[in-house]
Structure 1
């Protein structure tokens, strides 16, 4: 539950904190740092799942924190790119537009109402799509493996 509330706090911070910088080389570092943060969260949470007395609940909390952080990293990147050069996109992106676009890419819906127009924007969207595949496929499998290991450990401890 705590992880899910932390994920909600990340989403609220995205909409409420003043992000006023433009998309620069430092923004690329923020994106990279954000992705490293997501990876670090996952490693920490997977370890916690393995030793948790309730590994299923811990896994749910892991997703409740990791997915919002992942979404916010890309939404913030898209928003800052649009502030710096709106021509990266089919229309300028507000925070809500950037969040919406990030979620449509994550959900593979792709309505087509907002599109990446420049090479730079397409490159970042491609990184997100690859991250989506990793998050949905590989990470889900690793989390389930950690749950199974945690359940097995809990079962052997009861014996």
Structure 2
């Protein structure tokens, strides 16, 4: 549900401001907000009755928010300086480009052309590595801690029943 609201906001909110230093500061603030959201969610995972489900909810909120921050930034950059990318970016193009960079697919159909665009994409790639590596590890650890605190069996463990006295 949260993901749908975020995507709807991305398409419906007016994005008519210029790309400038304030845009970069909002992006950095947004990334910090995602980090704080993840930290709070990690704490909640350890306390949740179903930590795996809570971890999936955390990913379903944090990942789209993170990607929409970059998509918005790319969209504003493309509007302010059309030569920043190999083609004019619509909102959908900006989201598509963000997802291809995030997923490391990089089809090459949309490419950054300006130095500023290349720096921004490089920044996204660096944060992607941190997000995927560090955040994923922290989420898995939080699930494990939550399960231990509740004395839940590890995922995939079978209940073998009482020992055989035969």
Q: TM-score, normalised by structure 1?
A: 0.93
Q: Partners of 2:128 and 2:28 in 1: how far apart? A: 15
Q: Structure 1 residue aligned with 2:135, among 110, 134, 139? A: 139
* DSSP-derived class of the 1:155 partner: coil
Q: Structure 2 residue aligned with 1:36, among 10, 32, 38? A: 32
Q: Which has the higher helix share?
A: 1
Q: Identify the residue that residue 144 of structure 2 maps to in structure 1.
A: 148
**Where does the alignment leave 5 or more consecutive residues of structure 2 unmatched?**
153-166
Q: Structure 2 residue aligned with 1:130, among 126, 130, 140? A: 126
Q: Partners of 1:87 and 1:30 in 2: how far apart? A: 22
Q: Partners of 2:137 and 2:109 in 1: how far apart? A: 32
**Where does the alignment leave 5 or more consecutive residues of structure 1 unmatched?**
none
**Matched positions, count:** 152
Q: Identify the residue that residue 70 of structure 1 maps to in structure 2.
A: 66
Q: Does 1:48 align with 2:20?
A: no
Higher CA-based Rg:
2
Q: Partners of 1:20 and 1:57 in 2: how far apart? A: 38
Q: Identify the residue that residue 81 of structure 1 maps to in structure 2.
A: 77
Q: Structure 1 residue aligned with 2:96, among 92, 96, 100? A: 100
Q: Is the 8 A contact 1:8 1:68 kept in 2?
A: no
CA-based RMSD of the aligned residues comes to: 1.0
How far 1:133 sits from its partner (Å)?
A: 1.1
Q: Identify the residue that residue 155 of structure 2 maps to in structure 1.
A: none
